[in-house]
Structure 1
Amino acid sequence: MGYPFGHPCDLRQAGAGDTAGCAGLSVLHGKWLVYQFCAATTAARARRSSSSPFGLDPNLPDLACDALALACAARGWSLSQTRILLAAHGSARGPKAAEAAEAFATAMRDRLPGTTLATGYVEEDPRIATTARVFEDTAPARPSLCLPFFAQAGEHVRDDIPDALADAGFGGDTLPVLGALPQVPQLIANALNKALSGPGVTST
């Protein structure tokens, strides 16, 4: 996978899937870095990484909020009146995935006062369908958007999320994954450049 970083760089995805295939190796200015192109991570991956995972980048909530504002404007909706379902992976094996999603949701709520934003998960409670049903049962006339908290459009995004939303009778729209935002290549470039000045970076 390549990104137009504006300087010599070779980013190669190591693996596949929504969250498992999340590590990338990059060579910048003769140094190796590991970038985790995923929404969340495990402790083992964090120890191998030169930077925080994509989903924990402190600038990502601003990009997501901008994307929501554009999506609402394109539909003629008021963002403050639009409900946001943040669809995330979750995990039955540990809390890290949900913790990352909840931290991201909190950061977005801080930036979107008055907007209803709730999380739903593929692999743990509350499930995506459960949160979507709450939206539909409480105020079905209000507009809703589903924002997938994923870096890549893998099987969960292609199949599991649409199936859950359909099962709940969700009447809103689903946006592309966060990793598809046009500002993401520059976000990654900035994170890698910042990591160059940090410890644990080895020269080739």
Structure 2
Amino acid sequence: MTRSALIVAHGSPSDPDPQEAALKDLAARVGALLPGWRIGGATLAKEGAFDAAVAKLGGPWIYPYFMARGYFTKKVLAERAEPLGLRVLEPFGTEPALVTSAAHALQRALCEKGWPAQDTTLLIAAHGSAVSRTSAESARDFAAALKAEMGFAEALAGYVEEPPFLSESARIIGQAICLPQFALNAGHMLEDVPEALAEAGFAGPVLPAFIDWPETPELIAQSLERQAASA
């Protein structure tokens, strides 16, 4: 039986095409790991992309490529999917294996610097929100889980859209590493995060957005396979 899934992200309303292309590339990498599946990618910011992808795939599962259960996953995507009878899965940021994957990436970065985790502060750079607690709570939970997993000296979060702002949290004395909790290389990741870190004088390593992690396609593929097996 052929299954299909549509990976959906927010994208960049001011310049939708680069993120639309990046998501289609991610979908292709996921599809290469799932023989017998049809995998598509679309951003909400690209006009008509979601509807065109749904029509092409013929009733796919909707996989939210978002970092938290927030406004876009619980309201915007749900309202788009419900009239079409589409199933919306849990978002990427809630994947159980994400903490382990992040721990491996952080360990590689620490090894390159020769830093023990117990002497290092972990900074999670996240979106935050002026209207919802979900984004901030997700980042704090992620920081706490990684501290417990790896034994960082401290783990904290800083936000783009709510206090404590990233430019404040990033004023860290001693060695520190930053993990941005962003799915795509869109505006916040390309502009707000580097600007805030520069303002704070943050000098430690900064990991890439999750779309550039080599583990990301496998995480999504494994999630889809697991949910198909239990369906």
TM-score range (shorter-chain normalised) is 0.7 to 0.9
CA distance in 2, matches of 1:193, 1:89: 29
Q: Which amino acid aligns with 1:126?
A: P
CA distance in 2, matches of 1:67, 1:147: 10
Deviation at 1:38, TM superposition (A): 1.4
Report 1:36-185 matches (<5 A): 36-42=64-70, 43-44=74-75, 47=78, 48=81, 50-133=88-171, 135=172, 139=173, 142-185=174-217
Determine helix, strand or coil for the equivalent of 2:61: strand
Bigger relative contact order (CA 8 A; separation at least 6) = 1
Q: Which runs of 5+ in 2 are unaligned?
A: 1-23, 82-86
1:10 alignment partner, one of 16, 39, 50: 39
* Maintained 8 Å contact 2:122/2:152: no
Deviation at 1:26, TM superposition (A): 8.1
Q: Report sequence identity in percent.
A: 32
Q: Which amino acid aligns with 1:185?
A: P
* Maintained 8 Å contact 2:109/2:205: no
Alignment RMSD, CA only? 2.6
CA distance in 2, matches of 1:5, 1:36: 18
Determine helix, strand or coil for the equivalent of 2:156: strand
CA distance in 1, matches of 2:45, 2:97: 25
CA distance in 1, matches of 2:148, 2:114: 23
Q: Deviations over 1:23-66 (max 9, x none)?
A: xx789x98621001111132225745532111111110110011
Partner of 1:187: 219
* Maintained 8 Å contact 1:12/1:26: no
Q: State the TM-score, normalizing by the size of structure 1.
A: 0.81
Determine helix, strand or coil for the equivalent of 2:178: strand
Partner of 1:202: none
Q: Deviations over 1:116-147 (max 9, x none)?
A: 211000000110011012x1xxx3xx221111
Deviation at 1:16, TM superposition (A): 4.4
Deviation at 1:157, TM superposition (A): 0.6
